[in-house]
Homo-oligomer: A and B are copies of this chain.
Amino acid sequence: MAMTGVLRPGHIQIRVLDLDEGVNFYSNVIGLRETGRDSQGRVYLKCWDEHDHHSVILCEAESPGMDFAGFRVLDLETLDTLEAKLNAYGLPTRRIPAGDLLETGERVRFTIPSGHQIELYAEKAKVGNGLGNIAPAPWAPERDKGMGPVHLDHFLLYGLNISEVRRIFTEVLGFRLTEQVLAPDGVSDQAVFLSCSHKPHDVAFVEYPELGKFHHASFLLETWEQVLRAGDIMSMNKVNVDIGPTRHGVTRGMTIYAWDPSGNRFETFCGGYFAYPDQETIIWPFEDFPQGLDYPQRKLHESFLTIVT
């Protein structure tokens, strides 16, 4: 197997202040498809081109934010191996039983030093992307619903100790550091971008003086034209836009950041280079971070650094 270990960001549980409002937003504005509700009242959604049962779980809560983020691993053997490596590294884990999340097998949960709950799992029901696997069309009609994201792409999380988090992801979980923003001191990590594939990032962290904060979940769109369309749909729905449309210098991706009705930021995103394991890490000195964030404007938008949930 040439792709091993952690395969991809598989799910995220997001807290919304009003469940109906949240479900309507993620379904009809962003364009996800609801695939189930559980006895706790959580709502499960997926992007049209995802095969797994869900990638976004919404739960109603008194404050917005992220409860946990999960990564799918190759198989049960990998799950055991990675759990053992985490424990050996000194990170305690606990097993959440299969079925706690709908259609999902056992999950290995642990808390990283940035204060986030991360989990690994090897099993989740395949519901397919609606195209079947016999002579499939290139896209399903639901691509036209809302912004029509292809898949959940990555998360950006804010918290303490991100250098320690980086070590866990690279030394234990097999991610690579694709890009790195240096703090003003020129030495420590301001932001780290981590890949378990040849995407430029599957997860990223920014150093921040509070534990466990959520910056955004990113949804992949196919093209820059679809990013424009997403921006139009945001405006038609009076969505609060943070930044964009623009290009990131970091990852080369094209982006819009906006907020859901509960104040959770999300990203609609396309593009980015192929990041192979034998490529050097790209370094952004702090003074170059403005063009890393907003390449055309070379501007370090204040909101990007300060507003999290």
Contact = CB atoms under 8 A, between A and B. Distances in A.
B228 A224 contact: yes
Contact of A225 (B7, B224, B244): B224
Contact of A278 (B6, B7, B274): B7
Given A144-B144, A296-B234, A247 B138 contact: yes
A297 interface: yes
A296 B285 CA distance: 30
Nearest to A51: B279
A296 B227 CA distance: 10
Interface stretch (A61-69, A129-137, A158-166, A207-215): A129-137
A282 interface: yes
Interface residues of A, number: 72
A292 interface: yes
B236 A288 contact: no
Contacts of A295: 138, 231-232, 235
Contacts of A5: 1-2
Nearest to A6: B2
Nearest to A298: B235
Nearest to A74: B277
A235 B2 CA distance: 34
A231 B236 CA distance: 25
A282 B136 contact: yes
Contacts of A276: 3, 7-8
A113 interface: no
A4 interface: yes
A131 to B, nearest CB: 9
Contacts of A234: 296
B198 A281 contact: no
Contacts of A225: 223-225
A116 interface: no
A245 interface: yes
A249 interface: yes
13 contacts: A1-B4, A2-B175, A3-B197, A7-B277, A8-B276, A51-B279, A135-B249, A136-B282, A150-B274, A198-B198, A222-B271, A231-B246, A231-B296
